[in-house]
Chain A
């Protein structure tokens, strides 16, 4: 790829940078919101304080993650207009309503109940507070639903009509637009990815504290919960990912050819390449190392099935193969490592060594950030694989960009890079600092900073007068009833 700093290239770079950075936060907060809802539900059901402690421990981390997700997300919602105005004009009639529904059904729900979730336990009592937590968790999932529907439509557009001047307008059925062919696969794959990402982070934090003190009950609990998630969901994710791949094979064949490194057609069975250096210019895979016919087996379930290659796709319609060949392999490789970690934890459970097998804990610690790497790699695979189109096969990226001068885009890109690394770098540092503190009994709420004004007893419902509990004293004394 030539590095020529046109406004188009800079705009693509800016979108890729801001969306990749942004995606880190929701991929963590979607999973974490659900985890918090589970913890609070377990606390309400069992009344065991350990769940409330874990809830509060992760709530502080959630607050920072969510704030960073919000502020980096607003950038995305405006960037369609600032940098991709022609795309917005042409596809706005179809995609705009999906995004508007995301705001109406998800963003307001999350934001409206977030305040109560973070600061309202003492004001509304445990029952309503749990309802607020649940609303935030559901909001994150609804948000994923709409934005992935919109994104999937750009990959597999259906249900539209084209005006004479090349604008997409909705056809008679919104159902056909929303549930476009790749959407169900992408939604399930992405939500599970976010659950796995969260499980690996929680697991790594648990492992870190187990390595320091293997008797820490809180660390044990979070490590165990996270490893269950990894063990149960990693295999499901590999299966769903495979189904998603088959869907791509059907609807976006060029993307699949490029990520498999299939430059040529294979009339009697395509290999599965494990290694290679894609060379778009020469249209061949250099240093290729592959297993014959397994590619056809995986994608067509037949060793000898013929498979077309990029030689059947005009050069100007091909995605850049090098990037997605490797991003795909990184994602899949990490997926299998997660599966391995999950299996290891099962073995440790059977041998009753889950909490003192230091090798397992070290492995879980190293795997902590791997979910983010896999998520970004997967995102790169699907988005770069859509190139050179914004709406697959119909609207070219080059024809989507705003009429902006290159210096304007270069300046904004530079500003985003500096601000994101500085601000979100610091935020990540704060999160790591919170994670470094061992989880313990009587965990603070996010607001209970040591410097904050002391609570006044007057308005705090005591354990016996709590409205949600009908006068029944809460477990562990007044500390838990705050």
Chain B
């Protein structure tokens, strides 16, 4: 029984790491995707400076998601990654271009346009790949014994294209509301305008994904629509609708922090929705978290460290954000 509890805790920790990654690198990637819509030169410099001191820390959550999955659920890691091979590779290559653009752009003014494009394209490819990986997991993976048993393009389907678009557009919502907090003048006004469009598009895609997902597997349908648990599951779309409305008002009224916070809440609700569908599987209909769990000794050894270190990480990460708080306009740190 103890092992079951430990495994559940680890599922929650991994979910937390994934959520942290999605929202924190989500706004970085969103800013990258929106980058070409900002005026060349000053506006783009400001947009990049808004995240230059923190992007690396944000991306580290992705390493924790991957490393944590290997450590706590090695079987899931060993099945999902080969199943989504081309997507993972595309994501990694996208992140390379995005990451080096932060430094290279300032080192080589003559090729600024090239690195601006690398920043945009890298962010877009990484975001879209991540969305498709999510879809590929939700639609199910062919497993035989302890390994992936499908072809190398099984992940490609209308559903994964839809989730790819959903995550990409969702990231632009995070990016635009984050920039609305950090920028000034024309760039700030532009960020608010983008936030309106990104918000509407995100909501539409959330609805589309939510309608498509229960049709994928019978279990998803039962999970959402069985009586009486529909009383609980129906709260998720309800809260999403309320949040979306509040977000729309906050953006229209040009509130400073509220649009970003509400966008985070929207992502949290999306994440809860995913959890409702997928629990307790990591690979739907074939591998549960208990099937995939690492030995108890591995999970407990890591849990001790995680419980001690995670609050410290959150503290100094918070401090780093605090140091670079406020509008970015007058700061010339890049």
Mark A residues whose CB is within 8 Å of B: 63-64, 67-68, 70-75, 77-78, 80-83, 85-86, 88-89, 92-97, 99-105, 107-116, 118-120, 122-124, 135, 165, 169-172, 174, 402-405, 407-408, 411-412, 415-416, 419, 423, 426-427, 430, 433-434, 445-449, 451-456, 458-459
**Given A403-B148, A423-B96, A453 and B89 contact (CB-CB distance below 8 Å):** no
Please state if A112 and B316 are interface contacts (CB–CB under 8 Å). yes
Look across to chain A and name the residue whose beta carbon is closest to the beta carbon of B72.
A96
Closest Cβ–Cβ distance, residue A89 to chain B (whole Å)? 4
Q: What CA separation (Å) do A14 and B295 show in the bound complex?
A: 30
Please state if A108 and B294 are interface contacts (CB–CB under 8 Å). no
Q: 8 pairs across A/B with beta carbons < 8 Å?
A: A70-B56, A104-B64, A112-B317, A120-B323, A412-B89, A415-B89, A430-B103, A452-B45
Q: Residue B12 at the A interface, CB < 8 A?
A: no
Please state if A77 and B66 are interface contacts (CB–CB under 8 Å). yes
Interface of A is mostly: helix
**Given A67-B103, A123-B324, A412-B86, A112 and B72 contact (CB-CB distance below 8 Å):** no
Q: Residue B60 at the A interface, CB < 8 A?
A: yes
Please state if B59 and A100 are interface contacts (CB–CB under 8 Å). no
Q: Residue B309 at the A interface, CB < 8 A?
A: yes
Q: What CA separation (Å) do A415 and B42 show in the bound complex?
A: 33
Closest Cβ–Cβ distance, residue A231 to chain B (whole Å)? 33
Contacts of A118 in B (CB 8 A): 53, 333
Contacts of A114 in B (CB 8 A): 53, 56-57
**Given A77-B66, A403-B149, A169 and B320 contact (CB-CB distance below 8 Å):** no
Q: Which of B46-69 contact A (CB under 8 A)?
A: 52-54, 56-57, 59-60, 62-64, 66-69
Please state if B64 and A113 are interface contacts (CB–CB under 8 Å). no
Please state if B302 and A97 are interface contacts (CB–CB under 8 Å). yes
Contacts of A64 in B (CB 8 A): 103-104, 107
Name B71's contact: one of A96, A111, A120, A407 (CB within 8 Å). A96
Name A92's contact: one of B53, B59, B71, B96 (CB within 8 Å). B71
Closest Cβ–Cβ distance, residue B331 to chain A (whole Å)? 8
**Given A86-B147, A115-B324, A427 and B104 contact (CB-CB distance below 8 Å):** yes
Q: What CA separation (Å) do A179 and B57 show in the bound complex?
A: 29
**Given A99-B71, A426-B104, A449-B334, A412 and B85 contact (CB-CB distance below 8 Å):** yes
**Given A92-B71, A93-B298, A408 and B85 contact (CB-CB distance below 8 Å):** yes
Please state if B67 and A105 are interface contacts (CB–CB under 8 Å). no
Q: Residue B106 at the A interface, CB < 8 A?
A: yes
Closest Cβ–Cβ distance, residue A423 to chain B (whole Å)? 6
Of the candidate stretches B1-9, B74-82, B158-166, B211-219, the one touching chain A is: B74-82
Please state if A405 and B152 are interface contacts (CB–CB under 8 Å). yes
Q: What CA separation (Å) do A189 and B79 show in the bound complex?
A: 36
Contacts of B301 in A (CB 8 A): 97, 170, 174
Q: What CA separation (Å) do A93 and B69 show in the bound complex?
A: 11
